[in-house]
Chains A and B, each alone.
Chain A
Amino acid sequence: MALDANLDHIVFMKVGRHAGETFEQIIERKRREYDAAGCIFWGYGGGTMHPITRVQPFARMRVEHGERISIVMQEILSRHPDTEVFAQEYSRDGVHWEPIPQGVRVRGSRYALVLNEIQHGELDINLGEYQVGTGPSEGKDAETYIRGRVDKGCLTRVKVIENASPEDLTKVHFAAMLEEPYAVVLR
Protein backbone atom coordinates (compact mmCIF):
# COMPACT_ATOMS: atom_id res chain seq x y z
CA MET A 1 0.00 0.00 0.00
CA ALA A 2 1.34 3.41 -0.88
CA LEU A 3 1.84 5.76 2.06
CA ASP A 4 -0.42 8.78 2.03
CA ALA A 5 1.81 11.58 3.33
CA ASN A 6 2.29 15.26 2.57
CA LEU A 7 5.92 15.39 1.54
CA ASP A 8 6.50 19.11 1.07
CA HIS A 9 7.78 19.52 4.64
CA ILE A 10 9.05 16.48 6.47
CA VAL A 11 10.92 15.35 9.50
CA PHE A 12 13.19 12.65 8.13
CA MET A 13 14.49 10.13 10.60
CA LYS A 14 16.50 6.94 10.44
CA VAL A 15 15.03 4.48 12.90
CA GLY A 16 15.78 1.04 14.22
CA ARG A 17 16.28 -0.96 17.37
CA HIS A 18 16.18 1.34 20.39
CA ALA A 19 16.65 0.82 24.11
CA GLY A 20 16.21 -2.95 23.97
CA GLU A 21 13.24 -3.11 21.60
CA THR A 22 13.21 -4.05 17.93
CA PHE A 23 11.68 -1.55 15.56
CA GLU A 24 8.65 -3.82 15.09
CA GLN A 25 8.11 -3.96 18.86
CA ILE A 26 8.34 -0.18 19.08
CA ILE A 27 5.79 0.29 16.27
CA GLU A 28 3.39 -2.15 17.91
CA ARG A 29 3.75 -0.44 21.28
CA LYS A 30 3.24 2.98 19.72
CA ARG A 31 0.05 1.82 18.00
CA ARG A 32 -1.31 0.72 21.37
CA GLU A 33 -0.32 4.11 22.77
CA TYR A 34 -2.26 5.87 20.06
CA ASP A 35 -5.34 3.79 20.86
CA ALA A 36 -4.98 4.61 24.55
CA ALA A 37 -3.88 8.24 24.49
CA GLY A 38 -4.88 9.57 21.07
CA CYS A 39 -1.32 10.64 20.31
CA ILE A 40 2.16 9.16 20.13
CA PHE A 41 5.34 10.43 21.72
CA TRP A 42 8.14 9.25 19.42
CA GLY A 43 11.37 9.42 21.42
CA TYR A 44 14.63 10.55 19.90
CA GLY A 45 17.94 12.13 20.87
CA GLY A 46 21.04 13.75 19.42
CA GLY A 47 21.97 17.36 18.98
CA THR A 48 20.45 18.22 15.61
CA MET A 49 16.70 18.47 16.28
CA HIS A 50 16.11 20.17 19.59
CA PRO A 51 12.34 20.29 20.16
CA ILE A 52 12.20 23.94 21.18
CA THR A 53 14.87 25.53 19.03
CA ARG A 54 14.53 23.44 15.86
CA VAL A 55 11.37 21.31 15.48
CA GLN A 56 8.72 23.60 16.95
CA PRO A 57 9.69 26.72 14.94
CA PHE A 58 9.96 24.62 11.76
CA ALA A 59 6.55 23.03 12.29
CA ARG A 60 4.74 26.08 13.63
CA MET A 61 5.70 28.26 10.69
CA ARG A 62 4.36 25.72 8.17
CA VAL A 63 1.21 24.93 10.12
CA GLU A 64 0.42 28.65 10.38
CA HIS A 65 0.45 28.66 6.58
CA GLY A 66 -2.05 25.79 6.49
CA GLU A 67 0.49 23.06 5.78
CA ARG A 68 1.16 19.85 7.64
CA ILE A 69 4.40 18.15 8.54
CA SER A 70 4.99 14.46 7.96
CA ILE A 71 7.55 12.38 9.74
CA VAL A 72 9.00 9.78 7.41
CA MET A 73 11.06 6.94 8.80
CA GLN A 74 13.80 5.00 7.10
CA GLU A 75 14.50 1.72 8.88
CA ILE A 76 18.17 0.95 9.53
CA LEU A 77 20.19 -1.53 11.58
CA SER A 78 20.90 -0.02 14.96
CA ARG A 79 22.81 -1.17 18.05
CA HIS A 80 21.30 1.25 20.50
CA PRO A 81 21.97 -0.02 24.06
CA ASP A 82 19.21 -1.38 26.30
CA THR A 83 17.67 0.81 28.96
CA GLU A 84 14.74 0.60 31.34
CA VAL A 85 14.56 4.33 31.95
CA PHE A 86 11.21 5.89 31.08
CA ALA A 87 10.41 9.59 30.92
CA GLN A 88 8.07 10.81 33.66
CA GLU A 89 7.37 14.35 32.50
CA TYR A 90 7.39 16.39 29.33
CA SER A 91 7.63 20.09 28.55
CA ARG A 92 6.88 22.07 25.43
CA ASP A 93 8.93 25.09 26.57
CA GLY A 94 11.54 23.77 29.02
CA VAL A 95 9.95 25.78 31.83
CA HIS A 96 6.56 24.20 32.52
CA TRP A 97 6.41 20.43 33.01
CA GLU A 98 3.48 18.01 32.88
CA PRO A 99 3.14 14.27 33.52
CA ILE A 100 3.55 12.03 30.46
CA PRO A 101 -0.03 11.34 29.20
CA GLN A 102 -1.73 8.22 30.49
CA GLY A 103 -0.93 5.28 28.24
CA VAL A 104 2.23 6.81 26.71
CA ARG A 105 5.67 5.39 27.49
CA VAL A 106 8.89 6.89 26.16
CA ARG A 107 11.96 4.84 26.80
CA GLY A 108 15.55 6.05 26.91
CA SER A 109 15.01 9.33 25.06
CA ARG A 110 15.59 12.96 25.92
CA TYR A 111 13.15 14.36 23.36
CA ALA A 112 9.95 13.23 21.63
CA LEU A 113 8.03 14.12 18.49
CA VAL A 114 4.27 14.27 19.00
CA LEU A 115 2.52 12.27 16.27
CA ASN A 116 -0.86 11.05 15.19
CA GLU A 117 -1.40 7.48 14.01
CA ILE A 118 1.55 5.77 12.34
CA GLN A 119 0.81 4.43 8.86
CA HIS A 120 2.55 1.46 7.33
CA GLY A 121 3.10 1.33 3.60
CA GLU A 122 5.66 2.07 0.94
CA LEU A 123 7.06 5.30 -0.27
CA ASP A 124 10.20 6.39 -2.10
CA ILE A 125 11.60 9.78 -1.32
CA ASN A 126 14.48 11.51 -3.04
CA LEU A 127 16.55 13.49 -0.56
CA GLY A 128 18.01 15.33 -3.53
CA GLU A 129 14.73 17.24 -3.71
CA TYR A 130 15.07 18.59 -0.17
CA GLN A 131 16.91 21.25 1.78
CA VAL A 132 17.38 21.69 5.52
CA GLY A 133 14.48 23.79 6.81
CA THR A 134 15.75 25.06 10.15
CA GLY A 135 18.89 25.82 12.14
CA PRO A 136 22.29 27.11 11.07
CA SER A 137 22.36 24.74 8.10
CA GLU A 138 19.02 26.01 6.74
CA GLY A 139 19.14 25.91 2.95
CA LYS A 140 21.78 23.19 2.79
CA ASP A 141 21.10 20.19 0.51
CA ALA A 142 19.54 17.38 2.54
CA GLU A 143 21.64 14.72 0.82
CA THR A 144 24.80 16.40 2.06
CA TYR A 145 23.32 17.11 5.48
CA ILE A 146 21.92 13.65 6.34
CA ARG A 147 25.26 11.94 6.53
CA GLY A 148 27.55 10.41 9.14
CA ARG A 149 26.41 11.33 12.64
CA VAL A 150 23.46 13.35 11.34
CA ASP A 151 20.62 10.83 10.92
CA LYS A 152 17.57 13.07 11.08
CA GLY A 153 16.45 16.52 10.02
CA CYS A 154 13.62 18.97 9.35
CA LEU A 155 13.51 19.20 5.57
CA THR A 156 11.63 21.18 2.94
CA ARG A 157 11.14 20.05 -0.65
CA VAL A 158 12.49 22.69 -3.00
CA LYS A 159 12.26 20.87 -6.34
CA VAL A 160 10.91 17.76 -8.02
CA ILE A 161 13.36 15.52 -9.83
CA GLU A 162 11.64 13.54 -12.58
CA ASN A 163 12.89 10.09 -13.52
CA ALA A 164 15.33 9.79 -10.63
CA SER A 165 17.44 6.66 -10.69
CA PRO A 166 16.52 4.00 -8.09
CA GLU A 167 19.78 4.42 -6.16
CA ASP A 168 18.84 8.04 -5.46
CA LEU A 169 15.63 6.99 -3.76
CA THR A 170 15.23 6.19 -0.08
CA LYS A 171 12.67 3.52 0.83
CA VAL A 172 10.27 4.63 3.54
CA HIS A 173 7.86 2.22 5.23
CA PHE A 174 6.34 4.28 8.01
CA ALA A 175 4.96 7.81 8.20
CA ALA A 176 2.82 9.95 10.51
CA MET A 177 1.78 13.57 10.92
CA LEU A 178 3.18 15.88 13.57
CA GLU A 179 0.57 17.16 15.99
CA GLU A 180 0.68 20.23 18.20
CA PRO A 181 2.99 20.83 20.15
CA TYR A 182 5.07 18.92 17.54
CA ALA A 183 8.02 18.10 19.80
CA VAL A 184 8.71 18.11 23.53
CA VAL A 185 11.57 17.83 26.00
CA LEU A 186 11.45 14.87 28.40
CA ARG A 187 12.78 14.10 31.85
Chain B
Amino acid sequence: MTLDLRQALNAISDVVTNRPLPLREFDQIYMKLGDMVVHAEFVARRFDKGRLVFVGDGDAVGLSVAHLVNERVLEYGPREITVLDFDERMVNSVTRFAEESGFAESAKAVLYNVVDPIPEGTAETFDGFHINPPWGQHNNGESVVVFLERAAALTKVGGSGVVVIADDATRAWTNNVLARTQKAALELGLVLEQMIPSLHSYHLDDAPELRSCAMVFRKIKDSGLVSGRLSAERLEDFYGRSQALRIQYVREVATIERGRASDRTYRFEELVNSGC
Protein backbone atom coordinates (compact mmCIF):
# COMPACT_ATOMS: atom_id res chain seq x y z
CA MET B 1 0.00 0.00 0.00
CA THR B 2 1.19 3.53 -0.77
CA LEU B 3 1.01 5.97 2.13
CA ASP B 4 -0.49 9.36 1.30
CA LEU B 5 2.01 11.54 3.16
CA ARG B 6 -0.20 14.62 3.33
CA GLN B 7 -3.14 12.67 4.75
CA ALA B 8 -0.89 10.89 7.20
CA LEU B 9 0.75 14.11 8.43
CA ASN B 10 -2.64 15.80 8.77
CA ALA B 11 -3.97 12.88 10.80
CA ILE B 12 -0.96 12.88 13.13
CA SER B 13 -1.29 16.65 13.38
CA ASP B 14 -4.84 16.14 14.73
CA VAL B 15 -3.40 13.90 17.46
CA VAL B 16 -0.49 16.18 18.32
CA THR B 17 -2.82 19.18 18.66
CA ASN B 18 -4.95 17.18 21.09
CA ARG B 19 -1.96 15.97 23.15
CA PRO B 20 -1.12 17.59 26.51
CA LEU B 21 2.18 19.41 26.82
CA PRO B 22 5.10 17.27 28.06
CA LEU B 23 6.31 17.35 31.66
CA ARG B 24 10.08 17.52 31.85
CA GLU B 25 9.98 16.38 35.48
CA PHE B 26 9.45 12.90 34.06
CA ASP B 27 11.49 13.49 30.93
CA GLN B 28 8.35 13.38 28.82
CA ILE B 29 9.92 14.38 25.52
CA TYR B 30 7.99 14.10 22.31
CA MET B 31 9.01 12.31 19.15
CA LYS B 32 9.29 14.51 16.07
CA LEU B 33 6.31 14.56 13.75
CA GLY B 34 7.83 12.86 10.70
CA ASP B 35 9.13 10.03 12.83
CA MET B 36 5.69 9.69 14.44
CA VAL B 37 4.23 9.02 10.98
CA VAL B 38 6.89 6.44 10.17
CA HIS B 39 6.59 4.75 13.56
CA ALA B 40 2.79 4.72 13.66
CA GLU B 41 2.66 3.10 10.21
CA PHE B 42 5.21 0.52 11.33
CA VAL B 43 3.21 -0.31 14.47
CA ALA B 44 -0.06 -0.51 12.52
CA ARG B 45 1.50 -2.93 10.04
CA ARG B 46 3.10 -5.11 12.71
CA PHE B 47 -0.10 -5.44 14.74
CA ASP B 48 -2.70 -5.66 12.00
CA LYS B 49 -6.04 -6.93 13.42
CA GLY B 50 -4.57 -7.47 16.88
CA ARG B 51 -5.36 -6.06 20.32
CA LEU B 52 -2.47 -3.82 21.30
CA VAL B 53 -1.62 -2.45 24.75
CA PHE B 54 0.56 0.63 25.30
CA VAL B 55 2.21 0.65 28.71
CA GLY B 56 2.74 4.41 28.87
CA ASP B 57 2.22 6.47 25.76
CA GLY B 58 3.17 10.11 26.18
CA ASP B 59 3.83 10.44 22.46
CA ALA B 60 0.29 9.27 21.68
CA VAL B 61 1.50 6.67 19.19
CA GLY B 62 -1.50 4.51 20.08
CA LEU B 63 -3.96 7.26 19.31
CA SER B 64 -2.06 8.06 16.12
CA VAL B 65 -2.36 4.48 14.93
CA ALA B 66 -6.07 4.34 15.78
CA HIS B 67 -6.74 7.67 14.07
CA LEU B 68 -4.80 6.71 10.93
CA VAL B 69 -6.90 3.56 10.68
CA ASN B 70 -10.18 5.32 11.48
CA GLU B 71 -9.47 8.00 8.86
CA ARG B 72 -8.66 5.23 6.35
CA VAL B 73 -5.20 6.67 5.79
CA LEU B 74 -4.07 3.12 6.56
CA GLU B 75 -5.97 0.05 5.41
CA TYR B 76 -4.42 -2.07 8.16
CA GLY B 77 -3.86 -1.73 11.86
CA PRO B 78 -4.80 -3.13 15.25
CA ARG B 79 -8.49 -3.67 15.84
CA GLU B 80 -8.20 -2.23 19.34
CA ILE B 81 -5.68 -0.20 21.33
CA THR B 82 -5.54 0.22 25.11
CA VAL B 83 -3.35 2.87 26.68
CA LEU B 84 -2.22 2.49 30.31
CA ASP B 85 -0.66 5.70 31.61
CA PHE B 86 -0.06 7.37 34.97
CA ASP B 87 -0.76 10.81 33.50
CA GLU B 88 -4.48 11.52 33.70
CA ARG B 89 -4.08 14.25 31.08
CA MET B 90 -2.94 11.58 28.61
CA VAL B 91 -5.70 9.19 29.59
CA ASN B 92 -8.39 11.84 29.24
CA SER B 93 -7.00 13.13 25.97
CA VAL B 94 -7.17 9.65 24.44
CA THR B 95 -10.70 9.08 25.73
CA ARG B 96 -11.98 12.47 24.56
CA PHE B 97 -10.34 12.26 21.15
CA ALA B 98 -11.59 8.73 20.50
CA GLU B 99 -15.13 9.66 21.53
CA GLU B 100 -15.20 12.83 19.47
CA SER B 101 -13.79 10.99 16.47
CA GLY B 102 -16.21 8.09 16.73
CA PHE B 103 -13.84 5.26 17.60
CA ALA B 104 -14.28 5.03 21.37
CA GLU B 105 -14.95 1.28 21.04
CA SER B 106 -11.52 0.61 19.60
CA ALA B 107 -9.37 3.02 21.64
CA LYS B 108 -9.41 2.95 25.42
CA ALA B 109 -7.24 4.50 28.11
CA VAL B 110 -6.84 3.55 31.76
CA LEU B 111 -5.01 5.32 34.60
CA TYR B 112 -2.21 3.01 35.68
CA ASN B 113 1.27 3.33 37.16
CA VAL B 114 3.88 0.63 36.52
CA VAL B 115 4.70 0.66 40.23
CA ASP B 116 1.47 -1.36 40.67
CA PRO B 117 0.59 -4.87 39.53
CA ILE B 118 -1.09 -4.94 36.12
CA PRO B 119 -4.87 -4.26 36.27
CA GLU B 120 -6.96 -7.24 37.35
CA GLY B 121 -8.11 -9.51 34.55
CA THR B 122 -5.63 -8.19 31.98
CA ALA B 123 -2.86 -10.80 32.26
CA GLU B 124 -1.99 -12.32 28.85
CA THR B 125 -5.04 -10.79 27.17
CA PHE B 126 -3.31 -8.73 24.47
CA ASP B 127 -1.80 -9.74 21.14
CA GLY B 128 0.90 -7.13 21.35
CA PHE B 129 2.50 -4.40 23.44
CA HIS B 130 4.27 -1.12 22.92
CA ILE B 131 6.56 0.69 25.37
CA ASN B 132 8.71 3.82 25.17
CA PRO B 133 9.79 3.97 28.82
CA PRO B 134 12.29 6.17 30.66
CA TRP B 135 15.55 5.19 29.03
CA GLY B 136 17.39 4.07 32.14
CA GLN B 137 20.58 6.09 31.75
CA HIS B 138 21.34 6.08 35.47
CA ASN B 139 19.78 2.83 36.67
CA ASN B 140 21.36 0.48 34.14
CA GLY B 141 18.11 0.17 32.22
CA GLU B 142 16.04 -0.88 35.24
CA SER B 143 13.19 1.44 34.24
CA VAL B 144 13.09 -0.22 30.81
CA VAL B 145 13.02 -3.66 32.43
CA VAL B 146 10.13 -2.64 34.70
CA PHE B 147 8.00 -1.55 31.75
CA LEU B 148 9.02 -4.66 29.81
CA GLU B 149 7.95 -6.90 32.69
CA ARG B 150 4.51 -5.28 32.82
CA ALA B 151 4.13 -5.40 29.04
CA ALA B 152 5.18 -9.06 28.84
CA ALA B 153 2.72 -9.98 31.57
CA LEU B 154 -0.10 -8.37 29.58
CA THR B 155 0.74 -10.21 26.36
CA LYS B 156 -0.27 -13.70 25.20
CA VAL B 157 2.33 -16.31 24.35
CA GLY B 158 2.79 -15.99 20.58
CA GLY B 159 2.21 -12.27 20.70
CA SER B 160 4.86 -9.64 20.16
CA GLY B 161 5.77 -6.15 21.22
CA VAL B 162 7.73 -3.02 20.36
CA VAL B 163 10.31 -1.50 22.68
CA VAL B 164 11.44 2.05 21.89
CA ILE B 165 14.62 3.08 23.74
CA ALA B 166 17.72 5.17 23.16
CA ASP B 167 20.12 3.94 20.51
CA ASP B 168 23.34 5.81 19.88
CA ALA B 169 26.57 3.88 19.35
CA THR B 170 28.61 6.87 20.56
CA ARG B 171 26.93 6.89 23.99
CA ALA B 172 28.06 3.99 26.13
CA TRP B 173 25.00 4.13 28.36
CA THR B 174 22.64 3.43 25.46
CA ASN B 175 24.68 0.34 24.52
CA ASN B 176 24.55 -0.86 28.13
CA VAL B 177 20.79 -0.38 28.32
CA LEU B 178 20.25 -2.15 24.99
CA ALA B 179 22.24 -5.12 26.27
CA ARG B 180 20.43 -5.17 29.62
CA THR B 181 17.05 -4.99 27.86
CA GLN B 182 17.80 -7.94 25.59
CA LYS B 183 19.06 -10.00 28.50
CA ALA B 184 15.96 -9.19 30.56
CA ALA B 185 13.74 -9.95 27.59
CA LEU B 186 15.12 -13.48 27.33
CA GLU B 187 14.41 -14.02 31.03
CA LEU B 188 10.84 -12.84 30.42
CA GLY B 189 10.31 -15.36 27.62
CA LEU B 190 10.82 -12.84 24.85
CA VAL B 191 13.12 -13.25 21.86
CA LEU B 192 14.30 -10.48 19.57
CA GLU B 193 12.56 -10.64 16.22
CA GLN B 194 13.59 -7.36 14.60
CA MET B 195 15.52 -4.21 15.38
CA ILE B 196 15.39 -0.95 13.46
CA PRO B 197 18.30 1.16 14.75
CA SER B 198 18.28 4.95 15.22
CA LEU B 199 14.74 5.31 13.89
CA HIS B 200 13.29 8.23 15.85
CA SER B 201 14.39 11.72 16.86
CA TYR B 202 12.95 13.91 19.61
CA HIS B 203 12.35 17.47 20.74
CA LEU B 204 15.24 17.04 23.15
CA ASP B 205 17.10 20.33 23.52
CA ASP B 206 20.18 18.99 25.30
CA ALA B 207 20.69 15.99 23.00
CA PRO B 208 18.94 16.77 19.69
CA GLU B 209 21.00 14.15 17.86
CA LEU B 210 20.03 11.31 20.23
CA ARG B 211 17.92 8.67 18.48
CA SER B 212 15.84 5.74 19.59
CA CYS B 213 15.44 2.34 18.00
CA ALA B 214 12.44 0.06 17.61
CA MET B 215 13.04 -3.46 18.86
CA VAL B 216 10.37 -6.09 18.23
CA PHE B 217 10.22 -9.02 20.64
CA ARG B 218 8.14 -12.22 20.29
CA LYS B 219 6.81 -13.88 23.42
CA ILE B 220 7.66 -17.56 23.18
CA LYS B 221 6.83 -18.63 26.72
CA ASP B 222 5.37 -17.44 29.97
CA SER B 223 8.11 -16.43 32.41
CA GLY B 224 5.97 -17.26 35.44
CA LEU B 225 6.86 -13.87 36.92
CA VAL B 226 4.28 -12.70 39.46
CA SER B 227 3.10 -9.15 38.71
CA GLY B 228 3.56 -7.59 42.15
CA ARG B 229 4.08 -4.04 43.38
CA LEU B 230 7.59 -2.76 42.71
CA SER B 231 10.08 -2.72 45.57
CA ALA B 232 11.47 0.63 46.71
CA GLU B 233 14.97 -0.04 45.41
CA ARG B 234 13.66 -0.52 41.86
CA LEU B 235 12.23 3.00 41.95
CA GLU B 236 15.60 4.69 42.55
CA ASP B 237 17.01 6.77 39.68
CA PHE B 238 13.94 5.76 37.67
CA TYR B 239 13.74 8.98 35.64
CA GLY B 240 17.44 9.87 35.91
CA ARG B 241 20.15 10.44 38.50
CA SER B 242 18.49 11.00 41.91
CA GLN B 243 15.10 11.01 40.16
CA ALA B 244 13.15 8.27 41.90
CA LEU B 245 9.65 7.27 40.88
CA ARG B 246 7.68 9.04 43.61
CA ILE B 247 4.53 10.29 41.88
CA GLN B 248 1.58 7.89 41.74
CA TYR B 249 -0.46 9.84 39.18
CA VAL B 250 -0.31 13.13 37.33
CA ARG B 251 -3.82 14.49 37.82
CA GLU B 252 -5.48 16.70 35.25
CA VAL B 253 -6.55 20.11 36.49
CA ALA B 254 -9.84 20.94 34.79
CA THR B 255 -9.93 24.09 32.70
CA ILE B 256 -12.48 25.57 30.32
CA GLU B 257 -9.71 26.47 27.89
CA ARG B 258 -9.08 22.97 26.56
CA GLY B 259 -8.13 23.01 22.91
CA ARG B 260 -7.62 26.77 22.69
CA ALA B 261 -5.13 29.35 23.90
CA SER B 262 -5.40 30.28 27.57
CA ASP B 263 -6.59 33.87 27.91
CA ARG B 264 -3.80 34.32 30.45
CA THR B 265 -1.30 34.12 27.58
CA TYR B 266 -2.56 37.01 25.44
CA ARG B 267 -4.77 40.13 25.46
CA PHE B 268 -6.59 42.02 22.71
CA GLU B 269 -5.66 45.59 21.90
CA GLU B 270 -8.50 47.29 20.03
CA LEU B 271 -8.13 49.46 16.94
CA VAL B 272 -7.98 53.17 17.70
CA ASN B 273 -10.71 55.21 15.92
CA SER B 274 -11.73 52.23 13.82
CA GLY B 275 -14.96 53.96 12.81
CA CYS B 276 -17.05 50.91 13.65
What residues of chain A have their CB less than 8 Å away from a CB belonging to chain B?
46-50, 52-54, 56-58, 60-61, 94-95, 132, 134-139, 145, 149-150, 153
A60-B242, A134-B241, A136-B137 in contact; A53/B205 too (CB < 8 A)? no
Select from chain B the residue with minimum beta-carbon distance to A58.
B241
CB < 8 Å: which of A47, A57, A132, A153 contacts B240? A57
A-B pairs under 8 A by CB, number: 56
Given A136-B137, A136-B171, decide whether A53 and B240 contact each other with a Cβ distance below 8 A: yes
Residue among A60, A61, A94, A136 making CB contact with B206, cutoff 8 Å = A136
Asked if B25 lies at the interface with its beta carbon under 8 angstroms from chain A, I say yes
Task: Say if the beta carbon of B243 comes within 8 Å of chain A.
Answer: yes
**B27 contacts partner chain A, Cβ-Cβ < 8 Å:** yes
Q: Is the interface of B mostly helix, strand, loop or mixed?
A: loop
**Contact status A153-B241, CB under 8 Å:** no
- The bracket for how many chain B residues form the interface is 20 to 34
The interface residues of chain B lying within 8 Å CB-to-CB of A137 are: 206-207, 210
> Which residues between 131 and 175 of chain B lie within 8 Å of chain A, taking CB atoms?
135, 137, 166, 171-173
* Contact among A50, A58, A138, A150 with B24 in the assembled complex (CB-CB below 8 Å): A50
A contacts with B: majority SS = loop
Q: Which residues of B are found within 8 Å of A132, using beta-carbon distances?
A: 206
- B204 lies within 8 A of chain A by Cβ: yes
Question: A94-B25, A136-B171 are known contacts. Are A52 and B243 too (CB-CB below 8 A)?
Answer: yes
In the docked arrangement, what's the CA distance between A48 and B204, Å? 8
Q: What are 12 contact pairs spanning A and B, CB under 8 A?
A: A46-B205, A47-B205, A47-B206, A49-B206, A50-B24, A53-B240, A57-B240, A60-B242, A132-B206, A136-B207, A137-B206, A137-B207
Cβ of A48 and Cβ of B206 under 8 Å apart?
A: yes
